[in-house]
Structure 1
Amino acid sequence: MALGFFDGVHLGHQSLLKKTKRIAEKDNLKFTVMTFDPHPNDVIKLEKDWRYLTPLALKIERLAAIGVDKLFVIKFNLSFASLLPSDFIKQYVLGLQAKHIVVGFDFTFGNKAQGTADYLQKMSKNNPFDVTVISKQVHNDEKISSTLIRKIVRDGDVHLVPYYMGHHFQIKGVVYSSNRHKHEKKKNMEIYTGNKYILPAPGVYSVEIKNRNRTCHGLFIRYGSSRRNDEISGQIIEMLKGGVVEEVTVKFLKQIHFESESQCSSNFKEVMK
């Protein structure tokens, strides 16, 4: 069983999960994962507007794609956060009959994060489970972490994300094509992503848009204002008829930078036609 929050299911997480899968196959065990929801910062630091690289539904999709046999999603609340590390092991390791635990080198658990990878290894000596600890994964001498990737996205440097996640940053959103837009022949439509996803800095982004059966390239206009919804354009969007609501997946390829303010203004107007 792999333990972790796994926001983004980035390359560091993937290394840990693949190791867990290999151990499970070798020992003829189920490949299981335990994760938590919501983020501990949401509960402990009361950061109620916490944004995710992969909200829970998308994280579940990513874990399923890796081949997880069974997933435990533990509700992270104050009661869970206050568990003694020894009680965590009793309930969630021994209680689930886990035979082999796999964690990252910096994994912590239990009251005030007193439980560590070293503590797990120590406890395994007198209990019927083994522990494997995955070392730090780096790129350009930087630790691959969800915190770092969130900063990269927030800064608008979405072209760097594949070096840390193994693929482009993507979100799911709902596009609504209103009759007003249809009459105006407007090619850009508003996109609603809810309040769970982290989103890149304001600007214009080259994106890949996918719905159930089509994929195309387009533009994502990020306003970053509570008074104006973000907009998206592309062939799929242009095909929507008035009143249609459709979920799309948006893959961010790169931010489009303009050489001068006047070029930015003229190009932005062209984008918005």
Structure 2
Amino acid sequence: MKIYRLRYPDSVNIRQLDASSLAIGFFDGVHKGHQEVIRSAQKVADDLSIETAVMTFDPHPSQLFSGKSVGYITPIDEKIRVLESLGVDTLFIVSFDWELASLSPQRFIDIFIKKLGVKHVIAGFDFTFGSKGSGTMKDMQELSEGKYGTTIVSKVTFDQDNKVSSTAIRQLLSKGDVEAAAELLGRPFRTTGEVIHGEKRGRQLGFPTANIQTAEEHIVPANGVYAVRCLIEDTWYRGVCNMGVKPTFHDPEHRIPTAEVHLLDVNIDLYGKKMAIEWLHRIRSEQKFESLDDLKTQIGKDKQTAKDLLSD
């Protein structure tokens, strides 16, 4: 997959760019609704014998307008991975800053659609662009001057008429419902990070763990214990993971939640390694134990529950 990072007005010109069918949107999560937009772009690309392209933006517009960090379902590296797995040929990552946010819909189209050789634009029914989001897909078509076609993709729903959305997925993850989130994503929710040195409490309890430092802007599931799969250097391992603040040892109000993974099948040195965690099943909420013996007993039960859940 070819990747181009664009920034207005400095870096917007690309030489020898192939004609494309373009799916456009922010696509946080690259969930089933987003995948429908991308599939539509791929179908048009096949019909026209051109490439499939995706245009996304970084950072999230609300981060620019509010000044607050956004909890991403798919930070940019994860978004790139998922889009490549879907067979996208070209990815445009456009810097979302005040220069871009001030563009009129006409100017946006001139620079980011017509100049990039786009032959067809596909977006969701609620996609907007240009200054204050004033441009709609109706404007996209009316301003085309016959140089490209457009397709609007209707909302994708779940549970009768609920829209598949990044907001819905965030809400599910905030409750720890990783299985329902996976249904909307079309794949397990994944976080990535580096294994860092922790307090070694798991080792002292007989259950050595790896502490994962995830990116601050990456949303994580609610505190609790989960059955997970972990990818380390191209190998998958089964694991049980505690996401939380370890209330048995710490005051929960003064701790930042961290992911602590115990691998079920092996005991290997992971410090400094990159790890991807796929959150498959929630086992229980995080809780405080009255004694270390009670905690050890529960960890043993959690480990067995994780083995049973991951045995298929």
Please give the TM-score of this superposition, normalised by the length of structure 1.
Answer: 0.89
Q: Which amino acid aligns with 1:107?
A: F
Mean CA deviation greater in 168-177 or 245-254: 168-177
The total of aligned residue pairs comes to: 268
Q: Does 1:150 align with 2:177?
A: no
Q: Distance in 2 between matches of 1:208 and 1:20?
A: 32
TM-fit CA distance, 1:31: 0.9
Say which of 243, 255, 259 aligns to 1:230.
Answer: 259
Q: Does 1:199 align with 2:225?
A: no
Task: Tell me if structure 2 keeps the 8 A contact 1:209–1:236.
Answer: no
Unmatched segments (≥5 aa) in structure 2: 1-21, 246-251, 301-312
- Where in structure 2 are the equivalents of 1:90-101 lying within 5 Å? 90-101=110-121
Give the match for residue 115 of structure 1.
135
Q: Does 1:252 align with 2:279?
A: yes
TM-fit CA distance, 1:131: 0.3
Q: CA 1:134–1:179 in 2, change beyond 3 Å: closer, same or farther?
A: closer
- Following TM superposition, the consecutive aligned residue runs of length 4 or more in structure 1 with deviations greater than 6 angstroms are 260-263
Give the match for residue 87 of structure 1.
107
The C-alpha deviation readout for 1:159-192, integer Å capped at 9, x for no partner, is: 1112211111111121135796797455122111
Give the match for residue 239 of structure 1.
268
The SS at the match of 1:230 is strand
Give the match for residue 233 of structure 2.
212
Give the match for residue 60 of structure 2.
39
The SS at the match of 1:245 is coil
Q: Which amino acid aligns with 2:149?
A: D
Q: Does 1:129 align with 2:156?
A: no
The C-alpha deviation readout for 1:208-259, integer Å capped at 9, x for no partner, is: 1121243222121111566354311114673116xx311111111121137x
TM-fit CA distance, 1:4: 0.6
The SS at the match of 1:24 is helix
TM-fit CA distance, 1:83: 0.7
The C-alpha deviation readout for 1:121-142, integer Å capped at 9, x for no partner, is: 2223x33110001001001121
Task: Tell me if structure 2 keeps the 8 A contact 1:177–1:240.
Answer: no
- Where in structure 2 are the equivalents of 1:176-187 lying within 5 Å? 176=196, 184=204, 186-187=207-208
TM-fit CA distance, 1:268: 4.5
RMSD: 2.7
Task: Tell me if structure 2 keeps the 8 A contact 1:189–1:237.
Answer: no
Task: Tell me if structure 2 keeps the 8 A contact 1:188–1:237.
Answer: no
The SS at the match of 1:254 is strand
Please give the TM-score of this superposition, normalised by the length of structure 2.
Answer: 0.78
Say which of 57, 70, 73 aligns to 2:77.
Answer: 57
Task: Tell me if structure 2 keeps the 8 A contact 1:176–1:245.
Answer: yes
TM-fit CA distance, 1:205: 1.3
Q: Distance in 2 between matches of 1:101 and 1:215?
A: 38
The SS at the match of 2:30 is coil
Q: Which amino acid aligns with 2:255?
A: R
Give the match for residue 307 of structure 2.
none
Mean CA deviation greater in 113-122 or 209-218: 209-218
Unmatched segments (≥5 aa) in structure 1: none
- Residue identity over aligned pairs, in percent, reads 32
Q: Distance in 2 between matches of 1:217 and 1:154?
A: 23
Q: Distance in 1 between matches of 2:25 and 2:284?
A: 37
Q: Which amino acid aligns with 2:140?
A: L
Q: Distance in 1 between matches of 2:202 and 2:31?
A: 40
The C-alpha deviation readout for 1:83-119, integer Å capped at 9, x for no partner, is: 1111101111111121100010000111111011121
The SS at the match of 2:228 is strand
Q: Distance in 2 between matches of 1:68 and 1:189?
A: 34
Mean CA deviation greater in 216-225 or 99-108: 216-225
